[in-house]
A and B are shown apart, each in its own frame.
Chain A
Amino acid sequence: MYGKGLKPLSIATVVAIAVAFSLVFFYAPLDADQGFIQKIFYLHVPLAITALVGFVIGGVFAIAHLRGGDRRWDAYSYVSIHMSVIFGVAVLITGAIWAKASWGHWWVWDEPTLVSFLIVFLMYATYYPFRYAIEDRDRQARYASVFAIVAGAFVPLNFIAVRLAQSLVHPRVFATANGGLPGSMMLTFLVCLAAVALLWVTLVKLELTAKSASGQLKRLRRALDAPADSGSPRIAPEVS
């Protein structure tokens, strides 16, 4: 069920990423200030935006779960958060590499954007122990949904708070009158954003398909009353 359309989606993702990276290296002009190092921008920022939006989407799925009680929404929420955490790891690593190249430091603690993203990331890192500390599956799903909603609401609030903070190091100039990206850079950035978002969707679908297959397998084993193999304990919600 979940695997339907996965193949064309995967092909579209690969094509989109290839086009995006081609634009980054062969079309977008070099930045006047940072030069070649600014190319990290086209990877780092789309990853950050996708991860943060993914966290919010996880919260929206959690709302649907609490409203209807359908366990599938809980699985959607879990997979969305899981994938966003992985993207968050990529954001932190690529950001650190860029910071090292630009500032000579891997991390700067007095920069609100960096620290706020780290706080969001660490908050979602606690989702896993929080979730699996609860044995009863219904309670686990319910509490995890509450967590996802509260944390999902925190993400935009955190974003606004950081935007309001005054910082010399991270000016936000997408919408300012005398700044902003030139057309070719903006186009490249938008294509990269679309490609990374497509990748997120594809991986979420892949993960859901795998979980669905795993769930079906468990059902089959129960139906056949087969002895359980040495399989690992369940670490994620089943999708049937």
Chain B
Amino acid sequence: MRKERAYLILRDRSMGEVQLFGMGLLPIGAPALPLDEAGKYVAGAYLVFLLLLLVYVGIMAAKLQRMERELRDLASFAEQGRPGTPGREAEDVPVDVEAQPAAVSDRNLTPSEAAAGRPDRVRGSSDV
């Protein structure tokens, strides 16, 4: 019913009345709605736009959060893999390293040394 009315109005317009619509999905040809009724639709359209924008920003924020978490995990992983890294906390030191005697813990042990918990020999001294 309203659409038929719109067609009629447009036919009247083609006789010379003002037209001011461009391209896109442009409804045209209906009489003006009263402000209180039109306001709802206009507000709805602009709010939908803002809502979409907010949803997008929210998704991007979630993505950023996830990346930050992954980066934190990787940073802690990198620190654990590199002993002596500045900023390494004492409690991060593995327990088995702390259990080694101070004299031998600062150099590499052979598997048998590691198993016995002592050096078989001082590396290089017996070769002379």
Contact = CB atoms under 8 A, between A and B. Distances in A.
A214 B20 contact: no
Nearest to B44: A97
Interface stretch (B33-41, B83-91, B92-100, B112-120): B33-41
Contacts of B60: 206-207, 210
B24 A90 contact: no
A44 B1 contact: no
Contacts of B9: 33
A229 interface: yes
Contacts of A39: 42
Contacts of A35: 32-35, 38
Given A97-B44, A226-B74, A33 B32 contact: yes
Contacts of A94: 45, 48-49
Size bracket of the B interface: 35 or more
B104 interface: no
B77 A226 contact: yes
B23 A174 contact: yes
Contacts of B13: 171
Residue in B22, B24, B64 whose Cβ sees the most chain A Cβ within 10 Å: B24
Interface string A15-39: 0000001000000001111111101
Interface stretch (A65-73, A102-110, A136-144): A102-110
Nearest to B7: A168
A214 B71 CA distance: 10
Contacts of A231: 66, 70
A187 to B, nearest CB: 13
13 contacts: A36-B42, A40-B41, A40-B45, A93-B48, A101-B30, A102-B28, A103-B27, A108-B3, A168-B29, A171-B21, A220-B71, A221-B70, A224-B81
Contacts of A98: 25-27, 41, 45
Contacts of B20: 31, 173, 179-182, 185
Interface of B: 1-3, 6-7, 9-11, 13, 16, 18-35, 37-39, 41-42, 44-46, 48-49, 52-53, 56, 60, 63-64, 66-67, 70-71, 73-74, 77-78, 81
A206 B105 CA distance: 50
B46 A43 contact: yes
B33 A213 contact: no
* 6 nearest A-B pairs in the assembled complex, by CB-CB distance: A35-B32, A95-B25, A102-B27, A48-B24, A104-B2, A101-B41
Contacts of A182: 20
Contacts of B39: 36
A174 B45 contact: no
A224 B77 contact: yes
Residue in A39, A45, A95, A98 whose Cβ sees the most chain B Cβ within 10 Å: A98
Contacts of A30: 32
Contacts of B48: 90, 93-94, 97
Contact of B3 (A105, A181, A203, A220): A105
B41 A220 contact: no
Contacts of B42: 36-37, 39-40
Contact of B26 (A47, A113, A213): A113
Residue in B27, B67, B78 whose Cβ sees the most chain A Cβ within 10 Å: B27
